[in-house]
Amino acid sequence: MTSLTGDRDPAPRLTVVGIPGNRRLSLFQNAVLAAGLPPAREVGWLDVLGGRAVFGAGETVRIDSPGEDAEVDRLLRGTDDPTRVEGTGRWYERFTAAARDLGRAAMSGGATLLDDPEELAVLFDKRLTHRVLDEAGVRVPLSPTSGAAAPAVSGWDDVRARMAEAGLRRAFVKIAHGSSASGVLAVGIAGPGRVSAITSVELDGAGRLFNSLRVRRYTAEREVAAIIDTLAPDGLHIERWLPKGTQRGRAADLRVVVVAGRATHAVVRTSASPMTNLHLGGTRGDLDAVRSTVDAAGGSFSTLLEQCEAAAACFPATHCVGVDLMPEPGWLRYAVAEVNAFGDLLPGLGGLPEREAAGLDTYAAQLAALPRRAGRTAALHPCGEPG
């Protein structure tokens, strides 16, 4: 990785937009100091939402997550209860408007943005992200909701109809603007009245939906319908539920962090449920075992990383993304499930030696890649074509 403090690459004046005091900003500032740079100037999302954010010439501005702050969440979602699932449609409209305002403020001040607001608007809509990847030739699960002409899904009846039309007996139903598996249901339909859904959504007696740390199974169609009907106004995305590869008898997938076009970090996530998210009982798996499994199957770990880089190449104006890659049984074919704008929160994870990121955490890798980013264009490798 190129030094930030050498004669050829003068140290940038860094500014980070996020939640002051949050663990994300603390980890980023630790990486800044470790790189021998002055602390980054912090701009809070409350200032952005209040129209008070100002940026100056020569600043390099990194946008981080607006999550994990009750007041910011209230302003974005319009609810005082952060455990509620509903409200993501309103959150998306307000977040993307604020990101565009931030972009205009940075441009008028002469600052450089590391994250493009228009790409963020795509990344935070699963339907749009899926369409961009699919049109670029990146392998994704079949989806009846990502096409430009696909009508909105208004509720459970539409979900059943779309699944039937696409020949899907099992599908993931996701809120279009969700994250961290919020509002995700793994739905199976075995016949008339034989429906099940695995999800972390908790449905209370009043029909309200709450995020839970416990994954549960609903087998009554009226309950599954009630959840999906409640989520539908926020926008729904449907995609084929692909069987996953396994590690030690547990379903496995990978979160791969791509910085300035290169995969720098990978973590294996394993789970006894279809949701591999670590906060829902998933555990970190063995990356060396994945390398061995892929090699033994006649594949290439480098090809796996290149598929993630091809997905990230569809968002060339976003400095860092986290790609969720699903291996199919046999570990020779993969599909990109999601691309996450703020998918770099992986404390303690070391970088990939094959991508010259050994010894760097995800934040240090982003700093080290700043000189390379200056020349990053779609010519690195066109979207969808592994380099």
Dist. CA 245–CA 143, nearest whole Å: 20
Model confidence at 213: pLDDT above 50:
yes
Strand, coil or helix: 293: helix
pLDDT digits 0-9 by tens, 319-375: 999 999 999 999 999 999 999 999 999 999 999 999 989 999 999 999 999 987 765
Amino acid at 72: V
pLDDT digits 0-9 by tens, 166-179: 999 999 999 999 98
Query: Which pLDDT score is estimated for 9?
Result: 54
* Cβ atoms 91, 76 nearer than 8 A: yes
Mean pLDDT is lowest, of 43-47, 262-266, 277-281, 297-301, for 277-281
Domain regions of the chain by residue span: 13-113, 156-240, 243-380
Dist. CA 356–CA 40, nearest whole Å: 25
pLDDT digits 0-9 by tens, 82-127: 899 999 999 999 999 999 999 999 999 999 999 999 999 999 999 9
Starting at the edge strand that comes first in sequence, how are the strands of the sheet with 13-18 ordered?
A: 41-44, 13-18, 59-63, 112-113
In Å, how far are 2, 66, 360 from 30, measured between CA atoms? 19, 19, 12
Report the CATH number of the 243-380 domain: 3.30.470.20
* Cβ atoms 183, 88 nearer than 8 A: yes
Query: Which pLDDT score is estimated for 193?
Result: 78
Query: Which pLDDT score is estimated for 381?
Result: 36
Query: Which pLDDT score is estimated for 151?
Result: 87
Mean pLDDT computed over every residue of the chain: 92
User: Structure tokens of 139?
Assistant: 């392998």
Placement of tokens 């594949």 in the chain: 299
pLDDT digits 0-9 by tens, 51-61: 999 999 999 99
Placement of tokens 């006894």 in the chain: 272
